[in-house]
């Protein structure tokens, strides 16, 4: 498969063979670690309930908490979201790709293991070149939960992923050290108004201003 590589490729990123192996691991229900613009993330196929359950157990995460999902473009949203709220349009235009997770109303076919206690699904687009290439080669949404044990700091390097999880992660795409900092900002809607669910790398006031600019 020919993949258009982003213009800011890393000088020493994964090889094509490593990307192909990562895609194969996902297809077989395994867990892959990969770098994003903040921390390393853990990917599984979000439509594979066993893979999701394995990921919960690996992280020691409560089963009522949802997983966030990475997409490559808006065209992948219909498999996850039943609609795109109009209030999200200016945010998607201004901040995607980037560390902004928007919580959409989930399609009814998604597993509750993915959505947790809620009826929404959080999705974003990462600008990191390794995440982009990996996602393009996979061709579908994938989870992008941070690579940490529940309640602990997330991994910024491939070595930290190995130290945290050992053989629990079947494949690691090594893209060097990630910047760290704050995770993605998570935003939802309540009674038609933007609601901050988790503070993160993008200030909530910037999102409000972007929304007003489109009014």
pTM: 0.89
Position 14 scores a pLDDT of 93
Region 178-198: mean pLDDT is 92
The percentage of residues in the chain with a pLDDT greater than 90, rounded to a whole number, is 79
In sequence order, the 6+-apart residues with CB closer than 8 A to the CB of 197 are 103, 186, 187, 188
Region 22-30: mean pLDDT is 98
- The predicted-structure confidence for 39-69, as pLDDT tens digits, reads as follows 999 999 999 999 999 999 999 988 788 899 9
Region 69-83: mean pLDDT is 96
Encoding tokens for residue 110? 């998604």
- Judge whether residue 154 has pLDDT over 70: yes
Higher pLDDT, 121 or 5: 121
The percentage of residues in the chain with a pLDDT greater than 70, rounded to a whole number, is 93
35 membership: H or E segment, kind and range: strand 32-35
- Which domains are seen in the chain, by residue range? 16-213 (3.90.870.10)
Helix axes 129-138, 16-27, angle to 10 degrees: 50
Q: Across the beta sheet with 120-124, what order do the strands follow?
A: 142-143, 69-70, 120-124, 100-105, 185-190, 193-198
């Amino acid at each position: 498969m020919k993949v258009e590589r982003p213009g800011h490729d890393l000088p020493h990123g994964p090889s094509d063979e490593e990307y192909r192996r990562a895609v194969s691991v996902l297809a077989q229900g395994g867990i892959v670690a990969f770098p994003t613009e903040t921390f390393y993330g853990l990917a599984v196929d979000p439509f594979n309930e066993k893979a999701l359950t394995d990921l919960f157990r690996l992280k020691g995460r409560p089963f009522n908490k949802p997983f966030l999902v990475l997409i490559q473009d808006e065209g992948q949203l219909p498999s996850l979201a039943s609609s795109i709220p109009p209030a999200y349009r200016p945010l998607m235009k201004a901040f995607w790709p980037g560390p902004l997770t928007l919580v959409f109303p989930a399609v009814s076919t998604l597993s509750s293991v993915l959505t947790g206690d809620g009826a929404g699904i959080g999705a974003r687009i990462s600008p990191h070149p390794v995440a982009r290439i990996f996602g393009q080669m996979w061709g579908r949404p994938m989870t992008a939960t941070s690579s940490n044990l529940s309640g602990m700091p997330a991994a910024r390097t491939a070595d930290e992923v190995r130290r945290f999880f050992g053989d629990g992660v079947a494949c690691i795409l090594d893209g060097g050290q990630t910047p760290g900092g704050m995770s993605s900002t998570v935003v939802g809607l309540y009674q038609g108004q933007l609601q901050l669910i988790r503070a993160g790398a993008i200030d909530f006031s910037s999102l409000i201003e972007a929304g007003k600019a489109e009014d």
